[in-house]
């Protein structure tokens, strides 16, 4: 069956963990002993059965009633398999939300029917657009607290839609729900919301089309490891292992290795299940080539006529996630595909106000701020614009002293440093 990975997002206390718990409960994806444990934990904290505890497993999460870490849950229906990333809503843990949403096919942004979008839910929606999540569901939660009012739903829906439609999100669905009572989660809520004639949340998750979201045109294989078994049976084996981040590769295809530019031909494709005639993203494979080339971790294998950009000067969007501010001249490490290179922040072009989406002049970026920057790496990176390939267009920045992840970024293109930083897309 097809696999759908989706993440939850939104402000704190909007009901993300309760929604996931209700979804798992109504889909009968919870074992009896697991449900018994949730009931015992709920009584310990003085609650009725709190389905949010299915994902909030850390002691601090249960004591504070908030989600801190990203919790992954797995379930399946007769139509599709699912991986859920329950992300925190608190501003302090925005970096965790970015981690959960970075690999999602779809995101569910919860909005309280009484309050509408808050600054944090706007920030999450903007980050989801920045991360290139192709499908967005606005779940207007806590409809029970507004008497299941159609007027209240429409007021929130119109305000949220006005904001989201200004973002580069192509697929938007709005669903009125009550995560606490299960309205429009798995079963329709006709007695309480007869005015809503759209799909339930699960119905939409089962039907949304994601097959065309992957890039099957640009063949990209970042090399993670060179396999040289020491067994006598594999004395001459040399395989270049990695996960295809785009395109299709077949036995007999001509390929080129970047950044060296060396050429060869694929003679075999090995997978965990044995040899294959072709491989496509996101398969993990080992390629055997006709020539013994000097290929190392961080190099990229692609087609001769379809190459990524090989550049050191990058134009990028950043979400800064460290308490210490980012300023021009900062020296960091960039983790991009399987390559890690030192990088310097040459310039901060502007920051974005997440409430108005307006650009503002900035001399630095503070915690959770989003801005456009110019970066220069010490060694070339093989990349594509993020909107074309999320894997080769995304990166993280790491503090080389503390080893903390301090930013997540997306590549817009390159710039020519000799001509004043003009962007070349």
Identify the domain boundary among 182, 213, 244.
213
Q: Count, in order, helices (H) and strands (E) of the chain.
A: 8, 24
Q: Are residues 68 and 162 in the same domain?
A: yes
CA pair distance 394, 410, nearest whole angstrom: 5
Q: Are residues 189 and 296 in the same domain?
A: no
- Token pair recorded at residue 304: 């001769």
Q: Are residues 228 and 86 in the same domain?
A: no
Main-chain phi, psi angles of 212, to 5 degrees: -90, 5
pLDDT per position as a tens digit, 136-149? 999 999 999 999 99
pLDDT per position as a tens digit, 77-132? 999 999 888 776 555 656 677 777 788 899 999 999 998 888 888 888 888 888 88
When pLDDT is cut at 50, 70 and 90, the band that residue 62 belongs to is: very low
Number of domains the chain is built from:
3
Stated as kind and residue range, the H or E segment containing 83 is strand 81-86
Identify the domain boundary among 302, 332, 356.
302
Would you report the helix, strand and coil content of the chain in percent, each value rounded to 5?
Answer: 25, 40, 40
Q: Is the pLDDT at 44 greater than 70, yes or no? A: no
Q: Are residues 328 and 188 in the same domain?
A: no
Q: Is the pLDDT at 58 greater than 90, yes or no? A: no
* Residue 92: predicted pLDDT: 60
Identify the domain boundary among 302, 327, 346.
302
* Residue 367: predicted pLDDT: 87
Q: What range defines the domain where residue 253 resides?
A: 220-302
Q: Is the pLDDT at 45 greater than 60, yes or no? A: no
Residue 326 CB contacts under 8 Å (≥ 6 apart), including other chains? 318, 320, 345, 348, 364, 365, 406, 407
Q: Are residues 171 and 57 in the same domain?
A: yes
CATH of the domain at 237: 2.40.30.10
Q: Are residues 296 and 399 in the same domain?
A: no
- Pairing between strand 309-320 and 331-336? unpaired
Q: Are residues 349 and 330 in the same domain?
A: yes
**Which residue, among 305, 293, 314, has the nearest Cα to 381 in the 3D structure?**
314
When pLDDT is cut at 50, 70 and 90, the band that residue 10 belongs to is: confident
Q: Are residues 14 and 157 in the same domain?
A: yes
């Amino acid at each position: 069956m097809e696999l759908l990975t989706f993440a939850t997002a939104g402000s704190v206390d909007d009901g993300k963990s309760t929604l996931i718990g209700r979804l798992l409960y109504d889909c009968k994806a919870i074992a009896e002993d697991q449900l018994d444990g949730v009931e015992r934990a709920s009584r310990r904290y003085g609650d009725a059965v709190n389905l949010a505890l299915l994902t909030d497993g850390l002691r601090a999460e249960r004591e504070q009633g908030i989600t801190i870490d990203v919790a992954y849950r797995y379930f399946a229906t007769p139509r599709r398999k699912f991986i859920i990333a329950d992300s925190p809503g608190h501003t302090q843990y925005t970096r965790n939300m970015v981690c959960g949403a970075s690999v999602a096919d779809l995101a569910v942004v919860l909005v309280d029917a009484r309050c509408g979008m808050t600054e944090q839910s706007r920030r999450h929606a903007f980050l989801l657009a920045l991360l290139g999540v192709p499908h967005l569901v606005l779940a207007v939660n806590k409809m029970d607290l507004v008497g299941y009012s159609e007027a209240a739903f429409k007021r929130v829906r119109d305000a949220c839609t006005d904001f989201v439609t200004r973002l580069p999100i192509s697929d938007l669905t709005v669903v009125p729900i009550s995560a606490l009572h299960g309205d429009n989660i798995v079963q329709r809520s006709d007695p309480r919301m007869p005015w809503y004639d759209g799909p339930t949340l699960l119905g939409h998750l089962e039907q949304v089309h994601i097959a065309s979201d992957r890039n099957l045109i640009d063949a990209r294989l970042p090399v993670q490891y060179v396999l040289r078994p020491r067994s006598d049976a594999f004395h001459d084996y040399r395989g270049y292992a990695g996960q295809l981040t785009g395109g299709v590769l077949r036995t007999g295809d001509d390929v080129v290795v970047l950044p060296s530019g060396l050429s060869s031909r694929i003679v075999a494709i090995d997978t965990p299940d044995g040899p294959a005639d072709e491989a496509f993203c996101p398969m993990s494979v080992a390629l055997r080539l006709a020539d013994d080339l000097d290929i190392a971790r961080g190099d990229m294998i692609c087609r001769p006529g379809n190459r990524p950009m090989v550049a050191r000067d990058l134009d990028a969007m950043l979400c800064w996630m460290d308490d210490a501010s980012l300023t021009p001249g900062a020296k960091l490490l960039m983790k991009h595909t399987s390559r890690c290179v030192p990088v310097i922040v040459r310039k901060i072009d502007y920051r974005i106000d997440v409430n108005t989406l307006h650009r503002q002049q900035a001399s630095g970026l503070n915690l959770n701020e989003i801005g456009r920057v110019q970066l220069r790496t010490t060694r070339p990176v093989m990349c594509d614009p993020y909107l074309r390939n999320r894997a080769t267009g995304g990166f993280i920045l790491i503090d080389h002293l503390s080893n903390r992840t301090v930013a997540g970024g997306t590549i817009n293109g390159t710039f020519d440093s000799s001509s004043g930083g003009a962007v070349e897309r």
